[in-house]
Structure 1
Amino acid sequence: MPPVMLPAYTFDFSWVQGSLPIFLQAAFLTLQILIWSAVLSVLIGLITGQMLMSRHAWLRWPARVYVDFFRLTPILFQIVAIFFLIPIVFEVSVPAFTSGVIALSLNFGAFFAEIFRAGVQSIDKGQWEAAESMGMPHVKTLVRVIYPQAIKRMLPPIGNMLISLTKDTSLISVIGVAELFNTAQNVGAGTFRQIEVLLLVSLFYLLINLPLAINAERLNRRMNVAR
């Protein structure tokens, strides 16, 4: 049987000029999702990480259940579940944008909690004992002694998590948020140039993530030099 010859594919980017404003709006929306989710997930992770290290079981166990649930279940399931459950449980109408930010924040907050926990626990116990011998309160010891040392070890995983968060913003397209990936699907369906659309969207994600990666690496080197 003779081999089947497929026609050569011809790239066509003539549609880009007309669709560029839509992609710029989608990129701005993606940045909003990223910023809100990053801030909230870091705060959640910071608080939960401390709860994981608490001596009190009534603080430690709820934090562990939360962290394990959001780390061990698919984020896509979490996004859809939160989008449908919030209106049912709380009887309020929540925009898809807000539901998506909540889901991403809770998911990445669980991972940040483990990063903060591991970073703090990596510091030698002698640091705690020295601060305690000087009469320094627990919170003050954390802020002025432990975290300044631990943050140097946390920077690489924190930077990686922020890059992953940028990529995972595409998942909330499943609930109709018009971020970059959702917009790419719509434009690709209208222009029949799916390959070109995906190449353009990958460029947008690269432009967002590249500064994050460069600055995270630069900050990591600076803090390591300052040791």
Structure 2
Amino acid sequence: MPLDFSVVLNYWPVLLKGLALTLAFTGICALLGSLLGFVVSLLRQVKTPLLRLPLTLYVEFFRGTPLLIQLFWVFFCFPVVFGLNIPPYASVLIALTLFMGAITSETFRGALKSIASEQHDACTALGLTSKVKVLYVIFPQALLRAVPPLLSNVVSLFKESALISSVGVADLMFVGQNISNSTARPVEFLSAVAVIYFLVAFPLTRLVGVVEGRLLRRYAY
């Protein structure tokens, strides 16, 4: 069968719906995971082993195991272990958020360590509470330093999200696979899916360089 990429145009609206779901999962899990990662990075600095050790195990587990296994574990094992009926969409949100939280916690941990000790001493001298210090002094500086790697994490999450098709979620990859199977044209549709992923991810990777070059060099200290 000769190649005919024009057939992709007939299914373009369906592919865009899959892309919209992929972007929705990426955005929601990136936001929730970044907030989780910041909290985890803060709690890992405490000197209490009973709190620090479980969080360290969580981070190392999700950073050291494939995301596909994490998706399968949440999707298939959570209902058995915890006796909960978790729908596919919820299991994907849980798995991607935990994965994003683990990798961003290391990003924030490095950013927090880069803040000079004089900043903490100044907060203590001014009599600021821990909540005020974290929200208005530490967090803004840590976020500024963490922006480039955080954007890189978001790009990685967007690309890794193609794995959620393995649990039956109708994202871009799932839609592309189904159409290629039903039309017997895998080259055309899988190539179109690859191009769509590239068109979304490439500008984000360029944005990382722009932010790092133009913003951090001017405002980070």
Tell me if both proteins adopt one fold, taking TM over 0.5 as the criterion.
yes
Alignment of 1:54-69 (within 5 A): 54-69=46-61
Query: Between Structure 1 and Structure 2, whose CA radius of gyration is higher?
Result: 1
Q: Give the paired residue count.
A: 219
Q: Is structure 2 residue 38 aligned with structure 1 residue 30?
A: no
Q: Is the 8 A contact 1:120 1:146 kept in 2?
A: yes
Structure of higher RCO (CA pairs closer than 8 Å, 6+ residues apart): 2
- What do the CA deviations read for 1:133-175 (whole angstroms, capped 9, x no partner)? 2212223222222232222321111010000000011011111
Post-superposition shift, 1:222? Answer: 2.5
Displacement, 1:110?
A: 0.5
Deviations 1:168-191 (A, max 9, x none): 110111111111111111111122
- Residue of structure 1 in register with 2:41 after alignment: 49
Q: List runs of 5+ in structure 2 lacking aligned partners.
A: none
Shift of 1:10: 4.5
Letter of the 1:42 partner, please give it. Answer: S
What is the one-letter code of the residue matched to 1:225?
R
Distance 2:31 2:142 in 1: 19
Cα displacement string for residues 103-160 of structure 1 (whole angstroms, at most 9, x for unaligned residues): 1111111011111111101111121112212212223222222232222321111010
TM-score (normalised: structure 2): 0.90
1:203 aligns with 2:195: yes
Between the two proteins, what is the percent identity of the paired residues? Answer: 35
1:41-190 → structure 2 map (5 Å cutoff): 41-190=33-182
Query: SS of the residue aligned with 2:11?
Result: helix
How far residue 214 of structure 1 moved from its aligned partner, in angstroms, is 4.4
1:4 aligned partner: none
What is the RMSD computed on CA atoms of the aligned residues? Answer: 1.9
2:215 aligned residue: 222
Unaligned runs of 5+ in 1: 1-8
Deviations 1:24-83 (A, max 9, x none): 111111112112211221121111111111122222111111111111111111100110
